[in-house]
């Protein structure tokens, strides 16, 4: 975080939009003027012009019961129709919606007409399986077109999808299935990753053995051709059901506040939160930002967002944003370096990608490999680059613009969260002067402030807490099944009084003299590893669930490539001392254990076996000191420790 601040203070470069770009830009200053003049009317106008309503709304925002907002609530729409049928009806059925590229090199182009057909078929199959409006369907799929089809088919029925990232373990999947009481799981036999098939259906089987039993059916796409078990009372093949179902399906309109999806994300406690999003407001802001932040010209652009549909970026900027706008996009199944390190650039060249949206961690990995790899490919079609997930350091921003973007195209750094549903802070390309390292300004219609702990606005250089001061259309509507946690976590930081009802994002930020916002990282016990959110508490509880562990403390240590890395400090049980003699072996075992329990993304970079943890007199673990150790810094102030000599003991053990 300190390095971040140093960069932030040093950074003075500015890039004006080129006149050519500005001349063709979708966005203009007028958006800010309109939003300033009448914020609610601005959003109502976006909702009317960007979406098709079965029943027009007359009310824009109901904020009479904060923090429970209702947007456009007397209107009705069908989200899937907005992403599909209306484009076909407008004569765009032959436009490619998805250029899909499998990791082994197989590919499919799917037009809007074909995608609409496939979604209707899947909706009919789900109906046959008893899925009705409001039911929950879990989706555990690789990045294949069926993932998009499944999400839209669920949405078409007014059911609620809960997509679980394919890298999560059986335990994580089971707890998400149970929390949402899903009745159907859609999965695949396996998918391709790093040149190998990774199994998915076997993980679902294991999860369902552990789960409470809400799941009636498992719908399985054949992709990996790997051996899988089969329960003929429960399991169905996609190619035997969806492929043969009718492609006639009449979609009905649902209320704007009808739930659309739940997506689980890590918080400060051990239990992931099911973030709930609804239909009309979510789709409005996803569509608006897709169009204006990415300068989307659907008739000529080829857009590619590299996120997995298992994360919010995949929901808003692979599925809903691009499709609501009728865009043509690339969907890629695999990893960036398989079968060779130029794979992404080969894809950009092959499809003539014009807009690329990815994460700083990917950019930094490419920087490490060197510019000669991207230089082997023709990347001249690119005209806009986007970044998301963590702060992008100015060096990476400049490299991205120069090496990938050829030196003169806009780079937009977009700040938002699973909870915000859509982009909240970003430059508008063609309008805003760009400043590397800063996410810059709230998008039109969004109100952001930076406050200190007492809720007083922080002016100028000093950093504070990022808050959203007014409700926004794509805001989360709650935590599934836990309204109290929703209020406490996000809305009561500055007190519960109505005038203090502000959304607390959990991020630190500062505003520079130009009014540009710099994100300074999380202020809570949430880590950001490769742009993925992980909770220290969740990993700690996984570590202490291991029979060898007595106590564990986890910190996020800064890491050159992944932003942060998980570093754990573990005290083994005295009773295990004889069994576990080799600390290196214990550490390996615990790393493996976390990966199995939560998923490979949570595997600690390091597990240090220690005899003590630094604690205050009241018994609180001082993670700050452990972070100093993990980052190889001089250990900070230890005067509040119960035993001030403890850090020397721990340092010696860590070395």
Q: Which residues are annotated as a binding site for Mg(2+)?
A: 544, 546
Minimum Å gap between C-beta 645 and ligand PRX is 35
414 is a site residue for ligand PRX (CB under 6 A): yes
Question: Which DSSP helix (H) or strand (E) runs through 372?
Answer: helix 372-375
According to the binding rule CB under 6 A, does residue 528 interact with ligand PRX?
yes
Q: Which stretch binds ligand PRX (CB under 6 A): 71-79, 172-180, 501-509, 591-599?
A: 501-509
Separation of alpha carbons 202 and 179, rounded Å: 21
88 or 468, CB closer to ligand PRX?
Answer: 468
315 makes contact with ligand PRX (CB under 6 A): no
Going by the annotation, the residues of the binding site for ATP are 389-391, 413-418, 507, 522, 533
Contact status: 310 vs ligand PRX (CB under 6 A) = no
The whole-angstrom separation of Cα 608 and Cα 653 is: 8
> How many chain residues bind ligand PRX (CB under 6 A)?
21
Question: d(Cα 260, Cα 495) in Å, to the nearest integer?
Answer: 30
Kindly state whether residue 312 participates in binding ligand PRX, applying the rule CB under 6 A. Answer: yes
Q: What is the DSSP string of 30-48?
A: HHHHHHHH-HHHHHHHHHH
- Backbone phi, then psi, for 586, in 5-degree steps? -60, -45
Binding segment for ligand PRX among 127-135, 188-196, 415-423, 564-572 (CB under 6 A)? 415-423
Taking CB under 6 A as the criterion, the residue among 189, 257, 390, 470 binding ligand PRX is 390
- Can you tell me whether residue 401 is helix, strand or coil? helix
319 secondary structure, DSSP code: I
CB of 339 to ligand PRX, least distance (A): 28
Contact between 530 and ligand PRX per CB under 6 A: no
Distance CA 502, CA 424 (A): 15
Longest dimension (CA), the chain: 74
Q: Which of 413, 449, 538, 559 binds ligand PRX (CB under 6 A)?
A: 413
Q: Where are the beta strands (DSSP E) in 25-147?
A: 61-65, 68-71, 76-77, 96-101, 107-111, 136-140
Q: What are phi and psi of 99, to 5 degrees?
A: -95, 100
User: At how many degrees (to 10) do helices 29-37 and 39-50 cross?
Assistant: 120
- Helix (H, G, I), strand (E, B), or coil: what is residue 566? strand
User: Rule CB under 6 A: which of 570-609 touch ligand PRX?
Assistant: none
- Residue ranges of the annotated binding site for CoA are 193-196, 313, 530
Q: What minimum distance in Å lies between the beta carbon of 628 and ligand PRX?
A: 21
Segment interacting with ligand PRX (CB under 6 A) among 200-208, 480-488, 504-512, 538-546: 504-512
Nearest residue (CB) to ligand PRX, 114 versus 390? 390
Beta strands at 136-140 and 411-414: parallel, antiparallel or unpaired: unpaired
Asked if residue 150 binds ligand PRX (CB under 6 A), the reply is: no
Q: Is 468 in the site for ligand PRX (CB under 6 A)?
A: no
| Neighbouring residues of 523: CB distance < 8 A, sequence distance ≥ 6 | 465, 506, 507, 508
**Binding of ligand PRX at residue 439 (CB under 6 A)?**
yes
Task: Note whether 405 binds ligand PRX by CB under 6 A.
Answer: no
The answer to whether the CB of 410 falls within 8 A of the CB of 429 is: yes
| One residue of 313, 354, 358, 432 binding ligand PRX per CB under 6 A | 313
- Give the residues lining the site for ligand PRX (CB under 6 A): 265, 312-313, 388-391, 413-418, 439, 505-507, 519, 522, 528, 533
């Amino acid at each position: 975080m300190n390095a971040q601040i140093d960069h932030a203070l040093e950074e003075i470069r500015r890039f004006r939009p080129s006149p050519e770009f500005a001349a063709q830009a979708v966005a203009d200053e007028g958006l800010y003027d309109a939003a300033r003049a009448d914020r609610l009317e601005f959003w109502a106008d976006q909702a009317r012009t960007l979406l098709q309503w079965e029943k027009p709304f007359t009310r824009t925002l109901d904020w009479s019961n904060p923090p429970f907002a209702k947007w456009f609530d007397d209107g009705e729409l069908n989200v899937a129709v907005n992403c599909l049928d209306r484009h076909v009806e407008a004569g765009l059925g032959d436009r490619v919606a998805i250029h899909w590229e499998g990791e082994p090199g197989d590919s499919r182009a799917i037009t809007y007409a074909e995608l609409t057909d496939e979604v209707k078929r899947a909706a009919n199959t789900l109906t046959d399986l008893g899925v009705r409006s409001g039911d929950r369907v879990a989706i555990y799929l690789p990045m294949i077109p069926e993932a998009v089809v499944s999400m839209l088919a669920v949405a078409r029925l007014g059911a609620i999808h809960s997509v679980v990232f394919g890298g999560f373990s059986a335990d994580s999947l089971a707890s998400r299935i149970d929390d949402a009481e899903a009745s159907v799981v859609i999965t695949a036999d396996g998918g391709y990753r790093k040149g190998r098939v990774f199994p998915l259906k076997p993980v679902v089987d294991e999860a369902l053995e552990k789960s409470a039993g809400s799941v009636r059916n498992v719908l399985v796409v054949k992709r990996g051709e790997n051996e899988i078990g089969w329960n003929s009372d429960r399991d169905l093949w996609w190619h035997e059901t969806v492929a043969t179902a009718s492609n006639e399906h009449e979609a009905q309109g649902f209320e704007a506040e009808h739930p659309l999806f739940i997506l689980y994300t890590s918080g400060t406690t051990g239990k992931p939160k099911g973030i709930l999003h609804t239909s009309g407001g979510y789709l409005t802001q996803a569509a608006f930002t897709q169009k204006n932040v990415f300068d989307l010209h659907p008739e000529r652009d080829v857009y590619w967002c590299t996120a997995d549909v298992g994360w919010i970026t995949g929901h808003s900027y692979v599925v809903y944003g691009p499709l609501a706008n009728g865009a043509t996009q690339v969907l890629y199944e695999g990893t960036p370096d398989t079968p060779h390190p130029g794979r992404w650039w080969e894809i950009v060249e092959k499809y003539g990608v014009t807009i690329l949206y990815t994460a700083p961690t990917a950019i930094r990995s490419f920087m490490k490999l060197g510019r000669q790899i991207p230089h082997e490919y023709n990347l001249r079609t690119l005209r806009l680059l986007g970044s998301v997930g963590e702060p992008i350091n100015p060096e990476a921003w400049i490299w991205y613009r120069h090496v990938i973007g050829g030196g003169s195209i806009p780079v937009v750094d977009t700040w938002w969260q699973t909870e915000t549903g859509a982009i909240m802070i970003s430059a508008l390309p063609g309008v805003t002067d760009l400043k590397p390292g800063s996410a810059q300004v709230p998008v039109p219609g969004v109100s952001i402030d930076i406050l200190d702990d007492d809720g007083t606005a922080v002016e100028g250089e000093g950093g504070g807490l990022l808050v959203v001061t007014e409700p926004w259309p794509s805001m989360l509507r709650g935590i599934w099944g836990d309204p109290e946690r929703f209020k406490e976590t996000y809305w009561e930081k500055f007190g519960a009084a109505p005038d203090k009802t502000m959304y607390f994002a959990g991020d630190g930020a500062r505003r520079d003299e130009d009014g540009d916002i710099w994100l300074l990282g999380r202020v809570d016990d949430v880590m950001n590893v490769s742009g993925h959110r992980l909770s220290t508490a969740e990993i700690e509880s996984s570590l202490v669930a291991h029979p060898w562990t007595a106590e564990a403390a986890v910190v996020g240590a800064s890491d050159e490539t992944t932003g942060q890395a998980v570093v754990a400090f573990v005290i083994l049980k005295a009773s295990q001392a004889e069994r576990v003699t080799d600390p290196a072996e214990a550490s390996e075992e615990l790393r493996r254990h976390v990966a199995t329990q939560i998923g490979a993304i949570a595997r600690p970079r390091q597990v240090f076996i220690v005899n003590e943890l630094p604690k205050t007199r009241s018994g609180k673990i001082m993670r700050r000191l452990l972070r100093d150790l993990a980052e190889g810094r001089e250990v900070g102030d230890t005067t509040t420790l119960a035993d001030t000599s403890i850090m020397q003991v721990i340092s010696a053990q860590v070395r």
